[in-house]
Amino acid sequence: MAKIEVNADRCKGCLLCAEFCPKKIIKQSDVLNSKGYYPAMQTEPEKCVGCAACAKMCPDVAITVYR
């Protein structure tokens, strides 16, 4: 059991998290955040292993990882 939470208001939608996610389960949301970015979101939480690769590559400290 693992999951991530994306703080949508810190996220700028750069998608470095998605690029480095080994399970390829992060994609861009189609809902704009307060700054006008499309933030990242997790698609299949059941596949998340909580490796934190996404959080380590996030330039906006927007990701919290649970495991």
Partner 1 sequence: MQKVFEKPVSIDEKPFSYCAGCTHGIIHRLVAESIDELGIREKVIGVAPVGCSVFAYEFFNFDMCSAAHGRAPAVATGIKRARPENIVFTYQGDGDLAAIGTAEIVHAAARAEKITTIFVNNAIYGMTGGQMAPTTLVGQKTDTTPYGRKVENQGYPIKVAEMLSTLEGANYIERVTVISPAHVNKAKAAIKKAFQYQIEGKGFNLIEVLSTCPSCWGMSPIKAIEWLKANMIPHYPLGVYKDGAKTE
Q: Does 13 bind partner 1 (CB under 8 A)?
A: yes
Q: What is the CA radius of gyration of the chain?
A: 11
β partners of residue 5: 64
Smallest gap from Cβ 60 to partner 1, in A, equals 5
Q: Are 18 and 62 in contact (CB under 8 A)?
A: no
Q: CA-to-CA distance for 35 and 49, rounded, in angstroms?
A: 30
Contact flag: residue 59 with partner 1 (CB under 8 A): yes
CA 1 from centre of chain: 17
- If one asks whether residue 27 binds partner 1 (CB under 8 A), the answer comes out as no
Q: Is 49 in the site for partner 1 (CB under 8 A)?
A: no
- Which residues of this protein are in contact with partner 1, per CB under 8 A? 1-3, 9-10, 12-16, 19-20, 35, 37, 50-53, 55-61, 63-67
